[in-house]
Structure 1
Amino acid sequence: MANAATRRQPLPIAGNTSARERWGVALRAFAGIVGGYGLATLAGIALAVWLPASRAEKALAGCFIGLLVWPGFVMLCFATRRVGRVLPVGVLLAVALAGVAWLGGWRP
């Protein structure tokens, strides 16, 4: 006897999606790719400004931290139910990272 807790939704069939769902995926991908790139760049700059190392080591560390931040933000974009909820988080993170870099002496 199946109740509401054990009923499963049917799997979506390829090509059977609405335009709204397709736009949602496109917006998530765009926000993740473009926003993630910006966050990765700002995180690398903020780290490089504050590290007490040579310029080459700072550049490498900035690149490596960017390789961690970018996929993390892309996953965050697809983990939320709506794209509108992740965009303010990305903007706040970008402002915070830019502020940290600016306090360290970075001038854009």
Structure 2
Amino acid sequence: MILQRLFGLSSLIRSAVSVHLRRNIGVTAVAFNKELDPVQKLFVDKIREYRTKRQASGGPVDTGPEYQQDLERELFKLKQMYGKADMNTFPDFKFEEHFCQHLRGRQAARDDEVLILSS
């Protein structure tokens, strides 16, 4: 009796594992294949080369002095348009209290109007 249950469970587990392997054969084939094809290898090598160049230069890769001039010119335009603030920091908002009280008063008046209309 126990042996029959064990054999039944083993066939159930075996079929579940085989279904799982059949569904994921594409993933397992890639996972077990450590060697890349030549195109993939070239692509990965170029990515690694770009990463080392970027880390060495500390910025964009293969740019000349004209790029730096263009960048400075565009940042200058932004500062002229939007003020003298640093564009890399979040702006600091300061609200005046009398303005907020004015808004609260307007909201209270609207609430009274809604109460009158709903009565």
TM over 0.5: no
Q: Which has the higher contact order (CA 8 A, sep 6+)?
A: 1
Q: TM-score range by the shorter chain?
A: under 0.3
Give the TM-score, by structure 2 length: 0.24
Give the TM-score, by structure 1 length: 0.26
